[in-house]
Structure 1
């Protein structure tokens, strides 16, 4: 009898619980473990998932464990004890949707800074998790949800980048696929989209139907033939926030969970697949990826070179508020984006070494809490 594939979900927040829940609803031989900080939360989520699966006729193997990512040694012990084949990191000090819970005008002002200045909130927990991964001696494939477009190239400098990310570039691919399929009168199963885009572009597309001042690369294939030139792609993209608009915010994390599962399930089942993912093998930004025997290979739009794809993602990175990620992991922020953070939160950081990230994350957290209290009166 084959041993079940083991998947550890490290982080019991909203996204982690969603992904854990779906991974357990499978006929595949899997043991899925949810790891969080709070016993009550982790136990209830694990039991809920098990009971829902039983209700639908599945018999999953699920479990839970406790750790705090700030305790690297304890996290390493948890990883070594479980011996996972795949680890899904779903941990952040402040999820992307949190600022959307601000009063509307305050949200719009803070949102103008874009995502780059918030990098420490995502980088630090991933860095600690990866320190634990390294200490544990595991050979698991590590999949990360927290801003992989920038976290991964920064952590590559110290050999701590996860193998691949999820979300961001992937989240608009189904909408583009549906729009192209409807335009062509074909099934979505007949349409293959290849999108090269940074996190910034992902948010632009769903809200505005274009990439704004950032570059993006898009190829559309039908029956193995490139049909991009035969379509009005600009018109297709404009339909994303209109005819093809979808639920966003916290409720919309269903889409992010689906993007995560598109990567996790092939890895869990040991099968090949074509996906979209950010931060693959430490790369900047997002692009199509072929999963082949647990390894990753870029699968770019027809005629696009690796250099062109990188340049596209660099342009998106700048619009997201990051001017440069240096070879030593130092992050240089765009002054215009940081000026918004300074104006609204009183936070200012021109550049950040990796050794400074934890202190910066703490400062942002404190300043944001004060800002929330101030703007809600």
Structure 2
């Protein structure tokens, strides 16, 4: 089941429909007509290519937790993909240039309520439904999962972020070592902030990261100038970004979802496994998920690396009860641009904060568009 019929949800659903004939995939959106159309597009194009999976759709509003629980229970999925957010990351990229550049300086952390609230509601529905599905979440897992762990509602694993740069690193390392790409083993520990920096600047900024590069069962990291390798990511290994670049995020999602759906073992990269902060190498084994860190990196070291990225993404700390403390300089950007300020947020305050951000952003966007015309 794909819960969320936005751009990413539709991309992932479309690819899942182009699979084995015994696969049953259901797209769940908020509105009937666009969800039906998207499901039929995937169904018919799959048939055109010779695939015959069962493809259908349903509708629900995440604000109606009981209805969403009924929707999940009726399908009883083996794998549930949450692709719901109140404001996707790409929305600010639609602003006029100067407004976008100023707002981007806040990084991702201050926007947390926009991702936390729908996932929290979805996970309440998951628990009420009684499903035993593996739950995979797309909405800012690096921070959402450790917060929801505090109330026992974290999804099992996330997608994207740390995973999105791994293919580029593998190709660059293979070219450098003169070996085939499939023979290169990359293990990357990195927060969302670092992943974003790598594709734009080719370095982790002021945050930490852990990277190992192996070949033939040997760790060759010491033989590779990793700093120079990473600098090449936004140069000769650059790729399309923005909305069209969501194809990479969809591919990262599918790298997790397909092995889970097909009960196939795989080594992938994903954020938020088991409620952990940030991103890790992850092993999928028999439908279960565990971290698969290189021998040179302990779990404590990996968590510390990700906590450093969390701060630079705009979140100072997440308490054991889920209370979030925002980093002042990041929040100052939203205060200056939107007039929004929040230093500390309890989980039960997140919905009100999300509504405030949405209202203030709409006003800001209207002013920005008017001044640019």
Q: Same fold (TM over 0.5)?
A: yes
Report what 2:159 is aligned to. 166
Tell whether 2:188 aligns with 1:195: yes
Q: In structure 1, the residue corresponding to 2:241 is in which secondary structure?
A: coil
- TM-score for the superposition, normalised by structure 2: 0.98
Aligned pair partner of 2:12 in 8, 19, 25: 19
Report what 1:178 is aligned to. 171
Structure 2 unaligned runs (5+)?
A: none
Structure 1 unaligned runs (5+)?
A: 1-7
Aligned pair partner of 1:120 in 113, 117, 120: 113
Contact 2:21 2:54 in 1 (8 A): no
Deviations 1:11-37 (A, max 9, x none): 000000000000011125210000001
Deviation of the 1:243 alpha carbon: 0.3
Deviation of the 1:301 alpha carbon: 2.5
Aligned pair partner of 1:321 in 314, 317, 321: 314
Determine the C-alpha separation between the residues in 1 that align with 2:269 and 2:22: 25
Report what 1:4 is aligned to. none
Determine the C-alpha separation between the residues in 2 that align with 1:81 and 1:156: 26
Contact 1:28 1:269 in 2 (8 A): no
Deviations 1:242-291 (A, max 9, x none): 00000001110000000000000000001111010000000000010111
Aligned pair partner of 2:133 in 123, 133, 140: 140
Give the 4+ runs in structure 1 shifted more than 4 A: none
Determine the C-alpha separation between the residues in 2 that align with 1:297 and 1:223: 23
Per mean C-alpha deviation after superposition, the further-off stretch among 130-139 and 24-33 is 24-33
Tell whether 2:52 aligns with 1:59: yes
Tell whether 2:76 aligns with 1:78: no
Aligned pair partner of 2:100 in 104, 107, 113: 107
Q: Tell me the C-alpha RMSD between the 2 structures.
A: 0.6
Aligned length: 370
Tell whether 2:86 aligns with 1:96: no
Aligned pair partner of 1:150 in 143, 154, 164: 143
Deviation of the 1:129 alpha carbon: 0.2
Determine the C-alpha separation between the residues in 2 that align with 1:37 and 1:52: 23
Q: In structure 2, the residue corresponding to 1:23 is in which secondary structure?
A: helix
Report what 1:259 is aligned to. 252
Determine the C-alpha separation between the residues in 2 that align with 1:65 and 1:307: 42
- TM-score for the superposition, normalised by structure 1: 0.97
Contact 1:219 1:302 in 2 (8 A): no
Report what 1:312 is aligned to. 305
Report what 2:22 is aligned to. 29
